Each structure stands twice: as C-alpha cells, then as structure tokens.
Amino acid sequence: MHGGQRGRAVISSLRGFRDILPPESDRFARIEAAAREVFGLYGYRELRIPTLELKELFVKSTGDTTDIVEKEMYAFTDGGGREIANRPEGTPGVVRAYIEHNLGQTGRNAKFFYIGSMFRAERPQAGRFREFEQIGTEHIGNPTPAADAENISMLVRLLEKTGAEGCSVELNSLGCSECRKAYRGVLLAFLRERTEKLCDPCRGRLERNPLRALDCKTDAPWLKTEAPKLPLCPACLEHFDGVQRLLGAAGITYNVNPGLVRGLDYYTRTVFEVRSAALGSQDAVAGGGRYDDLVRSMGGPAAPAVGWAMGVDRLVMLLGDKLAPDKAPKAFVIALAKEAGDKAFELLTRMRDAQISADFSDFTLSLKSQLRSADKSGASFALLIGEDELKAGTVAVKPLRGNGEQFTIPAADAPSKIKEQLKGRVD
C-alpha cells in the first residue's frame, strides 16, 4: 500500500506482479496474434488449460527435485484439504488434458498450443516476473526427428515474424532413459569426489538426482567443463543426427551445445534453447525439448512428445520499439454545437462501420478542448460538424498531421472520402 489523496491508503500490485498497460499490452497482443498465425500454418490448435491444478501434477511431471517444485511454486491447501498450485509451466496441464480427454484418438497429429500466465516465486528482476506470460506448443504422438525439427522451425519462424534479431539456437541431446541410467553412476561417482565444491542444494539432492547439478545456476558453469560427458546410445545418436539434418534442410542455423541441460526432469533426447545476448545474463527467450516418457509416467499411454515454451515478457523486452503498434485513430469526430452531437455520433458510428478507426472526447466541450484531445490522440484528421455543416449536410475535415488545408466533404460520403485521403498517406 502507499498513500493516496488526502492520506488514504491505496492498494498496489504485489511485488513481482504487474499491470501491463498500453502501449505495452498492444505489444503482447501483436506477439499473440503472430503466434496464432504461425501455429495455424503448422496445424497446431489452441488448448486452454486451467490456471490451478493439483500440486501433485507438477511434482510428478516437472520433478520433485527441480527448483520449480522445491522453491518456486505458489501452492496452498483449499477448503477440501487438497494441495493446489498455480501452474508454473504449461506442459503438465496439456499432458493431463491429453490423457483425461483421450486426445490421442486423433492419431499422431495431436498438436496443441497454449497462451497464458504462469506463476513462479522467483526473485523479480529485468525480464523475470512472478506472473509471466508463456506461449508454448506440444506435439504428442510423433517419435521422429521431424517433430523436433518442426517445433524448432516453428519457433524460429515466430521469432522472425515478430522482428526478433540476433537470436541463436542452442541444441543438445540428453539421450534416453537407458543412456542416462548408465551415465548416472559415472556422474554420481564424479560428484561424490567433489562434494565440497557443490552448493548446498546440489549436495542435498546428490543421491536422489545427480543430473540436476548439471543445470544448477551455481555449479553448472564448472561442471560443463569438468564433468564427464553423457554418451548416447546408437538410437539416440541416430535421432540427434536426424534432427540436425532436418534443421539444415530447413535452412536453420544452430549450435550444438553439450552443456545445454534444461531444468525440467522430464526431458529426453533433444533439448533446445533460443538465446539473445541483448538480454544480458537472463538470455533465454524460449526453450524446449522432447519428453518421450512423460505421458506414460502420468498414467497415460506410451506417447512420445516434443514441445517448447517462450517467455513473452522477455520477447517484448528484446523487441522494444520494433513492436510499437499504430493504435492512433485515423479520425477524430468533433461537434461544434450542442445540436450537432447526435449527427457527430452518427458519423462516428459510420466511420467505424467502414473499418476506419475513429474516436471522440466530449461533444459538449469547447472547440479548443476537443481539438486538443484530437491532437493528443494522434489522429490523422479531425471531422467537424457545426451549425453550418448540419444545414448543408457536410463535414469539415481538418488535417492534423502535415500542412494540409481544411476542406469540406458531403456528410454522406465521409467514410469513402476519408479512406481516399488515408491511402498512401504518411503522417
């Protein structure tokens, strides 16, 4: 809270949560529209999942040793004694819906996307909030490298469509459960000899999940250079080679990064991230990978899957003014006399019916006040109706940008005449 007028307390938003105001909200909307357009090209359909789920869903899927589950979930016990959590990510909810509604009956092309808020109790910083928007995709039922390459291609296409530049694709393979089973013992022996170098959280979960150390913010930097590398079985090698070939065929450049380990326990084989140096230390714009065992582990059928999620807040920060939308009305209607108000409102309606954005302030204000509002709105033209215009059935048109002179047009032709004026106009 903070002091308002006359000392009254004003309730403020929570730390890490925010109001997204225009014009920033317009930028979010443009990214969302671009995503829907791109996803349609690839045959993905929107799935709207609940904000609240049983906490158990994320413990079973995201992993009980992950930072998300151990430290970052917003969870509570409801009136019925159930442990509930605000969703920290989208994939578990999509997989639950896939199982609950038997969405696999459509065959191999179970392709979904989601757009919405996620919640994590992280320390707020630039580009990182406790409520943040994610756009994500999931392709469930296709085990081939083509599904991986399609998802990466789709992500790159979306970023290009929004105007994002200077992004790099990082690629790695984490192998299958058999690869990791063999590697787990090797890594555990390596880490046991170096427990004094590990941070407290990694020491605490060393025996339960030694692989988590590879994604630890504290220990990962030195482990990436010193730890033994994960060997891939022949099938995983073939899959990873296939992904790389298909990305090459799609003209997508990438960097194989053996140190890339995503922070979610369910990933298998392919993992990827898109990064931008322009974002500083928090450089990940989007990331994802394959999760071939997750659906079955949650009680569903054996169904391989791949997907990714993008932080929209991060992308908005990266794009900045590149996403600045033109939300100014094209016309601003002004009534110069009290009796002109009805006709002015009729004109306002006709302009909008003709798909011309139009606005007004208060028809009872003075001409000077209404013109001031028109100028502030950024409109191209002010359309004025006074006593003379009412009698003559005309509208006075005042250009608000450039050096054009005021002119008069028939009121009946106002929408078409304004459209003509707007063609090719650069304010």
Query: Please, which residues bridge with residue 268 across strands?
Result: 290
Given CATH 3.40.50.150, say whether it is the number of domain 331-422: no
Under 8 Å between Cβ of 129 and 81 = no
Cα(94)–Cα(53) distance, integer angstroms: 11
Under 8 Å between Cβ of 80 and 65 = no
- Order of all β-strands in the sheet with 255-256: 45-46, 110-119, 131-140, 305-311, 284-290, 268-276, 167-173, 255-256
- Name the pTM for this structure: 0.84
Cα(278)–Cα(227) distance, integer angstroms: 29
DSSP calls for 179-200 = HHHHHHHHHHHHHHTTGGGS-H
pLDDT band of residue 55 (cuts 50, 70, 90) is: very high
38: its two tokens: 């791109």
Whether 10-175+232-323 shares its CATH topology with 331-422 is answered no
* pLDDT tens sequence across 15-35: 999 999 988 899 999 999 999
Whether 280 shows a pLDDT value over 80: the answer reads no
Q: What angle do CA 128, 134, 136 make, to 5 degrees?
A: 140
**Beta 75-77 vs 83-86: how paired, if at all?**
antiparallel
Cα distances (angstroms) measured from residue 230 to each of 28, 141, 194, 226: 39, 26, 18, 12
Domain ranges across the chain? 10-175+232-323, 178-230, 331-422
Helix (H) or strand (E) holding 225: helix 220-226
Whether 296 shows a pLDDT value over 60: the answer reads yes
CATH code of the region 10-175+232-323? 3.30.930.10
* pLDDT tens sequence across 67-97: 778 788 899 999 999 999 999 999 999 999 9
Q: What is the mean pLDDT of residues 129-138?
A: 95
Which amino acid is present at 69?
Answer: V
